[in-house]
Chain A
Amino acid sequence: MTRPTVNLNHDAEGISILVSGELLTQTLSSIEAAFTSFTPTGNKVVVDLSDVQAMDTSGAWLVADLTRRVQKAGGEIDLHGASPAYSDLIATVSKSIPDDPVTEIHHRSFGDWVESVGKRTAGGWKDTLSMLDFLGLTLHRLGRTLLNPRRLRRAALVSQMEEVGFKAIPIVALMGFLIGVVLAFQGATQLKQFGAEIFVVELISISVLRELGILLTAIIVAGRSGSAFTASIGSMKVQEEIDAMRTLGLDPIEVLVIPRVVALLIMLPILGFISDISALIGGGLMSWIDLDVSPGMFATRLKENTGIWQFAIGMIKAPFFALVIGVIACWQALQVKGSAQSVGQRTTSSVVQSIFMVIALDALFSIFFSVMGV
């Protein structure tokens, strides 16, 4: 490719511009400045195009734009030596140049940022209301499904149970095991100082069964399945699949949301239980290795000193966490608007919000159960 060149000559009659080389999109940047910096004064301008070897619409635009500016300044312009094909192209392009072309892309300014912060703040309340509305709607559909179980889409439910539950077992079990190991290890160092090694059993069992097992499982599930719900339903929203469902008389809540929420309601307690057991195994193993608490002793002490309520409190929380994760993920998905970027933003919000809500709810439960004295 020959780079185009521009030569300007001022003479008695006016200005002559000699353009040569290839005026193509790929090469245009080298002569752009020469053209745009040229300010017509009303004198006659002669543009010599006889040495132009190639021209496309971009090249034609430069010439057409120059022509327009010269004529606007009241000058005369003569396009000299252009081949008929180039003349035609320049004519086509100048016909199509918009009267009010967009000259710059709107970049986000500080003002826009402030505006968006304000909008988000003001919109927060509306979002909360909308989410509560959606929670009510989901509970209503859930109740209707319970009264008439035939409405439940069993195939979807089973496949969701596999996705959110069965496939999460390895990661949840591993996480539980490691939590047990860490608690035993850290507890041992502290308890050894008082010669109270045996209390490591209570340390592990109460903290895991009551709080950590189910809380950490819920956080993993929120990250794993909450994001998947938002992304998949959100993409369906972008593709207008949700609208298609409505026109076919299918209720998106019943078809998409209920199987997912019910799958979470069934699987989260099971996953929580698995993580509880794995944590006890991990903690027991570590106590055996590090503190010489034999598995038999661990089991006996667990049975005698840790009440069933410790376990029950953990399990009671599971369905609430499941509902929070499912409702937030599906609500966020239905807020997706038109673009792929929006799916990403909503998926992020979904995970952040559901993890936050799970922790906040856990704190509320903690206060509630202490007040109740269990």
Chain B
Amino acid sequence: MDGTVLQKTTQADTQREAVIRVRNLTNQFGPQVVHQHLDLDVWRGEVLGIVGGSGTGKSVLLRTIVGLNKPTAGSIEVLGVDVLNGPEQERRRIEQRWGVAFQDGALFSSLTVLQNVIAPLREHTGMSESLMCALGSLKISLVGLPQLSCGKFPSELSGGMRKRAALARALAMDPEIVFLDEPTAGLDPIGAAAYDDLIGELQNALGLTVFMVTHDLDSLYAICDRIAVLAEKRVLVEGPIEEMTKVDHPWVQEYFTGPRARAAQEKGQSR
């Protein structure tokens, strides 16, 4: 299958800085092998979309990179630090330089939205409460939530608002890398498009690197610079979306040339 892997080793590659470097990753749960010899690079400042069928281990990959799942074998470097075997202190520091927004928000249910957002600030910085609140309000407003939601509890928010609040919390420490797990799943098309715009805007303004697990073809066309397809227990192909349609693999073909993909493509071009 090696012929299907798009080799994009151009000159640009050597100038790009890999903020995440996954090598030879193997994940196995009991008899079930999820990843085998998986390699992946994420470049600074790009929006990388991870796609793949159900059960191909997209979320497992995300969880493995941020250290929530210990892989069976392989190495992972984030911002030049070995997150699996590096010194504890360095790994702790790295955790402040990334933000993770989970699929269902995973907001702390006993804290208000504002308290959720400033929780990392309270833990890691010595700011005064008023500055934390001001920065928290700013993040909440940046993700497009009204100030009214600051004092609300997660259970009082709609699903879409919870996702936005989760993003605000992920952005609290102004991370360099943001991990998003299905950020637009379950949002209405207008909300999803607004969320895409938001990610694109934040990425431009803050120079974020975004690692996004998604199934939303609109998102893939609208904001992803590059796409990595997980299949056959590894990254089957990676590259810009235009190149995906040329890949000779049944799943990839079906995914990127199906009716939904064509509609999304037209929409993406008209933007």
Contact = CB atoms under 8 A, between A and B. Distances in A.
Tell me, yes or no, whether A binds B: yes
B135 A61 contact: yes
Contacts of B126: 29
B128 A32 contact: yes
Interface string B102-121: 00000001101011000001
Given A238-B109, A339-B109, A97 B125 contact: no
A101 B174 CA distance: 19
Interface in B152-211: 153-156, 171-174, 201, 205-207
Interface residues of A, number: 35
Nearest to A107: B129
Given A57-B138, A104-B129, A105-B115, 4 more contacts: A25-B121, A93-B142, A97-B141, A342-B110
A63 B115 CA distance: 24
Nearest to A29: B126
Contact of B96 (A26, A85, A88): A26
Contact of B174 (A56, A102, A103): A56
A341 B154 CA distance: 12
A92 interface: yes
B96 A102 contact: no
Interface string B126-159: 1111110111111111100001001101111000
A102 B110 contact: no
A58 interface: yes
Interface in A205-258: 238
Contacts of B205: 88-89, 92
A58 B128 CA distance: 13
A102 B136 contact: yes
A28 B125 contact: yes
A105 B124 contact: no
Contacts of B127: 28-29, 32
A105 B153 CA distance: 13
A200 interface: no
Contacts of B136: 102
B10 to A, nearest CB: 26
Contacts of A57: 135, 138-139, 142, 171, 174, 206
A97 to B, nearest CB: 6
B198 to A, nearest CB: 11
B113 to A, nearest CB: 10
Contacts of B154: 338-339
Nearest to B114: A102
Contacts of A148: none
B129 A101 contact: no
B138 to A, nearest CB: 6
Interface residues of B, number: 40
A154 interface: no
Contacts of A88: 205
Contacts of A104: 129-130, 133
A56 B135 CA distance: 11
A65 B207 CA distance: 22
A339 B174 CA distance: 27
A303 interface: no
Given A105-B115, A105-B133, A25 B174 contact: yes
6 contacts: A25-B173, A29-B127, A29-B131, A61-B138, A105-B112, A238-B109
B151 A102 contact: yes
Nearest to B206: A57
Nearest 8 pairs of A and B residues by beta carbon: A338-B155, A339-B109, A56-B174, A341-B110, A101-B137, A29-B126, A92-B205, A98-B141
A36 interface: yes
A10 interface: no
A94 to B, nearest CB: 10
Contacts of B172: 25
Nearest to B145: A98
Contacts of A101: 133-134, 137-138, 141, 147
A24 interface: yes
A223 B115 CA distance: 33
Contact of B131 (A32, A340, A342): A32
A144 interface: no
A291 B133 CA distance: 72
Contact of A28 (B130, B131, B147): B131
A105 B140 CA distance: 15
A150 interface: no
A218 to B, nearest CB: 32
Nearest to A32: B131
Nearest to B96: A26
Contacts of A92: 201, 205
A102 B206 contact: no
A139 B112 CA distance: 39
Given A338-B155, A340-B110, A341-B109, A36 B131 contact: yes
A89 B125 CA distance: 21
A39 interface: no
A108 interface: no
A36 B130 CA distance: 10
A97 B131 contact: no
B104 to A, nearest CB: 10
Interface string A53-83: 0001110010001000000000000000000
Given A29-B126, A56-B206, A57-B142, A106 B109 contact: no
A193 interface: no
A96 B205 CA distance: 12
A337 interface: yes
Contacts of A93: 138, 142
B147 A98 contact: yes
A337 B154 CA distance: 11
Nearest to A238: B109
A98 B137 contact: yes
A260 to B, nearest CB: 25
